[in-house]
Amino acid sequence: MYKLGIIGKGISYSLSPLIHQNFAKQFDIEVDYQIYDIKDDPVAFVEEFFANNGYGLNITKPYKEAFSDKFPDTAKSINCLYENGNKAASTDGLGLTKDLDSKEIDYLDMNILVYGLGGASKSILNSIKNSKNVFIANRSEEKLKNVLMKEKKLKKYDGQSLDLIISCTQGLDLNTIKYFEHLNIKDDAVLYDINYSNQTNALFSELSLVKESNYYDGVGMLVEQAAACFYLWFGKSPEVEGMKKELNERI
């Protein structure tokens, strides 16, 4: 029995146990995957987890950036620990691009806006950096300036026409809604909200910024990034489309 889990705060809704149990069954692997909803000190929790026969961990909000000192050679945002906690990775960006590929969205030839510069966006920006044009925007101008100074390939959004919008924000206040409503969006553009089971999903649907068929929530990304973690743990690539279908019907 392999001891796995996910750590975060306020994550009782997490679908990760269901996903990884499904993956494990595909290969007759026995796993015990638990949700660890912890209030603080994620680093101490992780050390104890692996000291007590832990095999692999997922990390989600708000702790994705808490391990940058422990793993200085990786991206600052981490969502997967493996090899007894000695190695770390972020599979968020890979999960997004894999899902875009499965939906036949040619993101490499698009003008893309990434809105929100939290944990997952760092991995996403790294994965799409070779796209035609990558623009960024954020509620905090200071954070925006800092990212632009470090990442010379990225550009501040200034009204350019958009093929793909990737929303990484956890919430939509009135100012943010107005911002999205004034974007220069092409008629056949795609909007991808990386959240799932979140109020942003309903709000984006109501706003109708793109065609209904061109709006996606983060279920596909969730499953794909989990599959990438599963591969890091077990060296096996699970089938994902069945899991995506099941979750889309459930949520």
Q: pLDDT per residue over 79-105, tens digit each?
A: 999 999 999 999 999 999 999 999 999
Residues 128 and 190 in one domain: yes
Residue 176 has phi, psi (to 5 degrees) of -70, -40
- The burial class, CB within 10 Å (0-12 / 13-18 / 19+), for 3 is middle
pLDDT tens figures, 101-133: 999 999 999 999 999 998 889 999 999 999 999
Percent of the chain with pLDDT over 70: 99
Residues 35 and 133 in one domain: no
Residue 250's pLDDT band, with cuts at 50, 70 and 90, is: confident
> What whole-number distance in Å separates Cα of residue 128 and Cα of residue 72?
22
Residues 30 and 132 in one domain: no
**CATH number assigned to the domain comprising residue 42:** 3.40.50.10860
What was the pLDDT predicted at 111? 98
Residues 112 and 208 in one domain: yes
> What whole-number distance in Å separates Cα of residue 111 and Cα of residue 77?
24
Per-residue pLDDT, averaged over 11-25, amounts to 96
Residues 74 and 126 in one domain: no
What was the pLDDT predicted at 75? 66
Residues 160 and 85 in one domain: no
Residues 212 and 123 in one domain: yes
Q: How many separate domains does the chain show?
A: 2
Residues 157 and 133 in one domain: yes
Residues 6 and 31 in one domain: yes
Residues 110 and 189 in one domain: yes
**CATH number assigned to the domain comprising residue 103:** 3.40.50.720
Residues 183 and 104 in one domain: yes
Range of the domain at 147: 94-217
Give CA torsion, residues 149, 154, 157, 161, to 10 deg: 170
Task: Check if the beta carbon of residue 34 is closer than 8 Å to that of residue 17.
Answer: yes
Residues 100 and 201 in one domain: yes
